[in-house]
Structure 1
Amino acid sequence: METTGLRPARHSIVSIAWVPVNGRSIDLSRAGYHVVSGTPGVSVGSSAIIHQLTDEDLAAGIPESEAIEQLLHALRGRVLLAHFAPVEEGFLRAACRRHYRQTVRLPIVDTFVLERRHMERMGTYPRGEDLRLPRARERYSLPRYPGHHALHDALGCAELYLAQTVRRAATGETLGDLPHSGT
């Protein structure tokens, strides 16, 4: 997700994307991306500098309820994969409360947590920038993508997860070794 800020109570979702991972492959045929229409009279303001979506782009987008419905449909029977999942978790929880008057519980795998745990096991204690998606991808020699675009970030997270999976297999780590979260 791309948002106008980090606080679901004060900020809005401006775009949503997903890229399914099936085993050890990425299924681009089932990927999705939507710009989310903004609230009339509310501007994206300076957040447009980061995600490159203007008020005009949002005016042409789909309603948040429709974007959330499509995301939840894509997640049916799956695990939410995200890099620094608390952002997606918080915005998804808030949107579900707004549109469905209830929240959703999803199993979540967070590539940020996977990377932090790996670095700590290796005796490296990462600082904030070390764990950002582009920096983590760089350590695996993955290609660079433009940042702060929901679809690029979803694909980048999927690729990072697969690279982490290969590394985990080589070191004997399992997902069961990690704490799980869910909304």
Structure 2
Amino acid sequence: MAGLQTLNRQILLKLLIVSVMMFGFGYALVPMYKALCEVTGINVLTNKNDYGVRAYSPNKVGNTQVDYSRVITVEFDSNSRGPFSFRPLKNFLEVHPGEMMQIDYQVSNNLDRAVQAQAIPSYAPKVATEYFTKLECFCFQQQTLAAHETKTMPVVFIIDAGLPQDVKTITLSYTFFEVGEGQHAVPEAPKSKVAS
């Protein structure tokens, strides 16, 4: 009988150690992922200070003449964390640098109650971040969605003509998530993925 109790204690101790190790590994995945993205330059995230405050500045845009000799493909991506259906109405646009363009995103609240939500943008490649200026964006402020409400929300943007010549495609990705009472803290940054 004493041998059985000892065996049970050993198994319990091993299970506890495995559980703690699994929790520690899961907890360490986020910083490891961020470090990997920084080193490889993939899944580039915007600076925390950039989202929600990127607005038109005449000094930033400079020469607003359209460069018709270049075409940039801008791909649009969407992710949602929470009770939403969220998507761009077009998967991509072909844009000339200096040209003002608009893309619309559609979001639906799938709950029987109103929610507060926020969107966070990210860009790929990273170099495109400083050349992509949003004049209007639903990401600048929180959105309120009534129960089962669907909204179409615009993003008006300009790609600066100073964008490096080797950049032919830019991916703009948004993560849309619920904020407010009973929710976890705002995520630090979204995970970007290339649109298919």
User: TM-score if structure 2 supplies the norm length?
Assistant: 0.27
Structure richer in strand, relative to its length:
2
Of Structure 1 and Structure 2, the greater helix share is in 1
Bigger Rg, which one: 2
